[in-house]
Amino acid sequence: MRAPRGTQDILPGNSEKWQYVEHKLIDLCRRFNYREIRTPIFEHTELFQRGVGDSTDIVQKEMYTFEDRGGRSITLRPEGTASTVRAFVQNKLFGLPNQPTKLFYIGPMFRYERPQQGRLRQFVQFGIEALGSDDPAIDAEVMALAMDAYRELGLTSLTLVINSLGDKESREKHKEALISHFASHREELCSDCQVRLDQNPLRVLDCKKDKDHPAMGNAPSILEYLNEESLVYFEKVKSFLDLMEVDYIVDPNLVRGLDYYNHTAFEIMSNAEGFGAITTLSGGGRYNGLVEEIGGPQTNGIGFAMSIERLLMALEAEKVELPIEESLDCYVVAMGDKAEHEAVRLTYQLRQSGVQVEKDYQQRKMKGQFKSADRLNAKYVIVIGENELENNAANVKDMDSGEQKEIKLEEITNYLREQLAGGKS
């Protein structure tokens, strides 16, 4: 039996990297005052149809949708924003005194995509959402946090690409311009784009099949259609990024794959050699109007998400070694039945007192037990032998210095804790 295509097992040796990265991200959120939200892995299909948008690839082709035994249409969440907004509305978080509501999430998302490096069918997204503010400073804050997430882990080959999709009025004008621009090329475009042209022409600019069509290159840019308000907003966002010294480039062709965006849209790309064909590390933007779409009061929002898989790929491409120590505080070696009994008791006592301990469970000989201790990189080895037991004691060996000491059994826990807290980390 094999795991389904596009899924992966994260095994020990690798899972420590995940834990390290997740702790770092959680600490970053703490400093920026984003608090965790956990929403269900599945939702009513309608949430994503309305939230993510009917004309998106996600809703049209990529959702894991099924009917449950009660006949309801259920979908495994393909992203976190729609669910977060649903929870914000359902739990009336907009009514809490502290606004904006600043949330983060880490969890698996599901998209039926063609698997390749950096593209999975189950992947883990870390994302943040700030709901209830249209201050351009919060747009800049979200982008700064996104960049810091990578930079604090040691990545350097990064580009923040930003664009403005403008407000509704600006987008309507741009939409008309796109329709008339592509009208004479309609038949040359792929069948998906012909539909997109009617439903959501902006999506055409994001087409993977038609990306080299000559009409793409000179398609009207949204930036030329921004009204005064949208322009001013965009300028403010950029000036806040400048103030925080967050570097960026403006790409008027940046279109995101989800329908809910307006004003700020951004992606972070990896420029690392060997990162792979997909260079986008994360993406996000502003979604004023989405909360109302999901049935809540008028509330503006902005957020972004990244997959941990692509983050780890970038760390590998940039050869960043995470400071993960694979060692063990202590290994208990026992010789003989009596010693074995004492080893069971002592191991448990040490564990309860906070020491990380392992012992043998394979009836290995002493040499084999020492080998295990070595393989596990044990800092200390406690050797319980018949002779020492008669003295109610055991030998504690410091594996770094080779130094050995006979310590009374009742003092071992304190002794070891002191040693571990002292000179050794």
What residue ranges bind ligand HAM (CB under 6 A)?
79-81, 111, 113, 118-120, 123, 125, 127, 129, 257-258, 280-285, 303-307, 309-310
Q: Give least dist CB 138 to ligand HAM, A.
A: 12
Q: Give least dist CB 381 to ligand HAM, A.
A: 43
Q: Give least dist CB 310 to ligand HAM, A.
A: 4
Q: Give least dist CB 159 to ligand HAM, A.
A: 13
Q: Give least dist CB 77 to ligand HAM, A.
A: 10
Residue 284: phi, psi to the nearest 5?
Answer: -170, -170
Q: Give least dist CB 419 to ligand HAM, A.
A: 44
Q: Angle of helix 136-151 relative to helix 308-317, nearest 10 degrees?
A: 50
Beta-carbon count within 10 A of 359 CB: 21
Nearer Cβ to ligand HAM, position 80 or 296? Answer: 80
Q: How far apart are CA 18 and CA 312, in angstroms?
A: 8
Instruction: Select from 279, 280, 304, 301 the least CA-distant residue to 290.
Output: 301
Nearer Cβ to ligand HAM, position 194 or 280? Answer: 280
Q: Give least dist CB 260 to ligand HAM, A.
A: 8
Q: Which residue is nearest to ligand HAM (CB)?
A: 303
100: cis peptide before it, omega within 30°?
yes
Contact residues for 425 (Cβ-Cβ < 8 A; gap 6+) = none
Nearer Cβ to ligand HAM, position 17 or 119? Answer: 119
Contact residues for 70 (Cβ-Cβ < 8 A; gap 6+) = none
Nearer Cβ to ligand HAM, position 196 or 359? Answer: 196
Q: How far apart are CA 240 and CA 63, in angstroms?
A: 37
Nearer Cβ to ligand HAM, position 43 or 79? Answer: 79
Distance from CA of residue 58 to its chain's centroid?
19
Beta-carbon count within 10 A of 197 CB: 18
Nearer Cβ to ligand HAM, position 119 or 173? Answer: 119
Nearer Cβ to ligand HAM, position 220 or 284? Answer: 284
Structure tokens at 49: 């149809």
Nearer Cβ to ligand HAM, position 105 or 182? Answer: 105
Q: Give least dist CB 247 to ligand HAM, A.
A: 19
Nearer Cβ to ligand HAM, position 100 or 284? Answer: 284
Q: How far apart are CA 176 and CA 196, in angstroms?
A: 13
Nearer Cβ to ligand HAM, position 199 or 280? Answer: 280
Nearer Cβ to ligand HAM, position 51 or 220? Answer: 51
Q: Give least dist CB 13 to ligand HAM, A.
A: 21
Q: Give least dist CB 181 to ligand HAM, A.
A: 25
Q: Give least dist CB 285 to ligand HAM, A.
A: 6
